[in-house]
Homo-oligomer: A and B are copies of this chain.
Amino acid sequence: MAAEQDPEGRAAARPLLTDLYQATMALGYWRAGRAQEAAEFELFFRRCPFGGAFALAAGLRDCVRFVRAFRLRDADVQFLASVLPPDTDPAFFQHLRALDCSGVTVRALPEGSLAFPGVPLLQVSGPLLVVQLLETPLLCLVSYASLIATNAARLRLIAGPEKRLLELGLRRAQGPDGGLTASTYSYLGGFDGSSNMLAGQLRGVPVAGTLAHSFITSFSGTEVPPDPMLAPAAGQGPRVDLAACVETWLERVCGHLGLGVQEPHRGERAAFVAYALAFPRAFQGLLDTYSVRRSGLPNFLAVALALEELGYQAVGVRLDSGDLLQQAQETRGVFRTVAAQFRVPWLESIPIAVSNNIDEEELARLAQKLVSVGGQPRMKLTEDPEKQTLPGSKAAFRLLGSDGALLLDVLQLAEEPPPQAGQELRVWPQGTQESCTVRPAHVEPLLRLWVQQGQLCEPLPSLAESRAFAQRSLSRLSPAHRRLEQPALYQVALSEKLRALVDRLSARGAL
């Protein structure tokens, strides 16, 4: 299988993006005559991140791309030769040069699936040597993607379905691709978009953004725009000097608000005018550069009302510091009185966006009041997929009640027949010593076959499709499991046969 053309124009992950010990172990297997032995590994986690009872599976598209393109180039093999012992058998490097994933099969939860502790996110099988080399890069591709998607899903649950949530974390990310990964998978997990343009260009994530404090502070107010004239929105009628019109409106706004007309910062106003000239249909005011109440708000209102005379509606404001909730409430109050005073009803309800270190707690405080929120997901990685305990190749099923609610997930041996809808089943919930019986109304297989012997088995859904799937999946989870703090734990159970195998191996000390 030749390395396919990378649709992003760059290899997101390359074969040498792996721990050296994967290569030393590969040599160990090869020397032991085991390179072609059939092997399988699974990626799963033991505890849900962020103290919740669910995670979202993500990263599959990157894994599939990586597996299909996997091929060691000459330079890669030369590098390996430089870090392995000088007397390593040259036949080993010949073996590496010929290596690809044509013998590799990947099963996985579809992207956006609910994932629970112990249920594999990904099963990779194939020749031992190549499967070993894949382990670290696939872990790297799945761990952070799933973490960030889960974080986004939690923030979405807090905010409710209507609020706009934007990811703005690029400048704090772990380097360029850390940012790209975060932007992509926060969208998958339920955000509406990102500030990261590369995520828009490469992944189709909707992008958003207007202006920063630096834009505002760069204007002193003495600048003379080359062309302050703006045509009406409808295209009919003469062009108007927006800057002059704004000054007229400023007097009326300040009069209404009881402010001196000198109080609002003129550089800030010049910046708003410059932005409005460039984006008359998408004017947003960033209010907190100097003083929200005495400067940002009156300057915004003067520009918004001048634009309104020309038939343009401002799209909203943003607050980026201080007590976001209190300022947002005060700002909303001002919008209401100004809307009434100047008979501009749409102004009453324009979006107030907030940003700046918004975590779950702050979002919960804000969510009742605001329309749009920019959050930076926290980065606490709590998956622990390293130490595998359940033996053998497994299958996983989700059992549902007659109302479509999730009952529990069942892990069983791959060779067992799947659970049947309507039939009673005895299972052993993890972490307990007792079995229980369950009679599912519906049974869903969890792990789908995506790559078989190196070939893609079905097209991957688009990012937007996976995002919608994630929201549908979450909606089926009961409120007790969906709760973000001290949730009821969702049960994952073992089949009788798998449980018996675990018991046998434990008794022999093999686990």
Contacts and interface: CB of A to CB of B under 8 A. Distances in A.
Interface stretch (A103-111, A119-127, A207-215, A466-474): A207-215
Contacts of A18: 170, 196-198
B19 A140 contact: no
Interface string A246-275: 000000000000000000010000010011
A212 B25 contact: yes
Contacts of A140: 170-173, 175-176, 179
B175 A145 contact: yes
Nearest to A208: B20
Contact of A14 (B30, B79, B198, B274): B198
Contacts of A144: 172-175, 178
Nearest to A145: B175
A24 interface: yes
Interface string A213-233: 111011000010111000000
A16 interface: yes
A335 B274 CA distance: 75
B85 A279 contact: yes
Contacts of A36: none
Interface stretch (A5-13, A155-163, A424-432): A5-13
A387 B137 contact: no
B178 A210 contact: no
Contact of A279 (B27, B177, B218): B27
Contacts of A210: 21, 24
Contacts of A386: 213
Contact of A226 (B32, B175, B282): B32
Contact of A174 (B75, B182, B207, B290): B182
Interface in A71-100: 75-76, 79-80, 83, 85, 88
Contact of A177 (B22, B139, B176, B278): B176
A495 interface: no
Given A175-B140, A201-B79, A19 B214 contact: no
A27 to B, nearest CB: 5
Nearest to A274: B32
A23 interface: yes
Given A19-B170, A21-B209, A141-B176, A39 B218 contact: yes
A213 to B, nearest CB: 7
Contact of A197 (B13, B19, B173, B214): B19
Given A27-B278, A76-B201, A181 B170 contact: no
A381 B39 CA distance: 39
A165 to B, nearest CB: 15
Contact of A277 (B31, B212, B321): B31
A509 interface: yes
Contacts of A349: none
Interface of A: 10-14, 16-25, 27-34, 39, 41, 75-76, 79-80, 83, 85, 88, 128, 132, 135-137, 139-141, 143-145, 168, 170-182, 195-198, 200-201, 207-215, 217-218, 223, 225-227, 265, 271, 274-275, 277-279, 281-282, 290, 321, 379, 381, 386-388, 509
Given A32-B277, A85-B282, A136-B170, 12 more contacts: A16-B198, A19-B170, A19-B196, A21-B209, A24-B275, A25-B211, A25-B275, A27-B278, A80-B197, A144-B172, A173-B174, A174-B182
8 contacts: A17-B180, A17-B197, A20-B197, A24-B279, A28-B279, A137-B176, A217-B388, A379-B379
